[in-house]
């Protein structure tokens, strides 16, 4: 998959700006052990740093993995906006 910076240069849809606007917010993350992550930062190489957060559901996982994991920027954008 093409990273968002290159995709914006092609189609001009501004997905990087959308993603930058939600730094620090949580989103639904299917690759997280809790199903939720917080976007911490965006890198120029097409990856984002995300940190798992506790599930918002009673039956969910309330023990997130520690540390920051790398996710593709298009995958994080998809979790927020699709």
Report the pLDDT value the prediction gives residue 5, as an integer from 0 to 100.
85
Report the pLDDT value the prediction gives residue 9, as an integer from 0 to 100.
86
Q: Return the closest-CA partner of residue 16 out of 59, 60, 47.
A: 47
Question: CB–CB of 49/41 below 8 Å?
Answer: yes
The per-residue pLDDT for range 17-72, each reduced to its tens digit, is 999 999 999 999 999 999 999 999 999 999 999 999 999 888 888 999 999 999 99
- Judge whether residue 1 has pLDDT over 90: no
Structure tokens at 11: 């189609």
Question: CB–CB of 37/25 below 8 Å?
Answer: no
Span between the terminal Cα atoms of the chain, in Å = 16
Report the pLDDT value the prediction gives residue 37, as an integer from 0 to 100.
97
Q: Return the closest-CA partner of residue 63 out of 21, 33, 24.
A: 33
Q: How confident is the model at residue 82 (pLDDT cuts 50, 70, 90)?
A: confident
């Amino acid at each position: 998959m093409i990273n968002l910076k290159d995709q914006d240069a092609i189609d001009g849809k501004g997905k990087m700006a959308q993603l930058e606007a939600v730094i620090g917010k949580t989103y639904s993350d299917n690759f997280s052990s809790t199903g939720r992550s917080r976007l911490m930062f965006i890198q120029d190489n097409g990856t984002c740093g995300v940190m798992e957060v506790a599930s918002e559901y009673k039956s969910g996982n309330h023990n997130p993995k520690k540390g920051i994991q790398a996710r593709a920027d298009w995958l994080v954008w998809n979790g927020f906006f699709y």
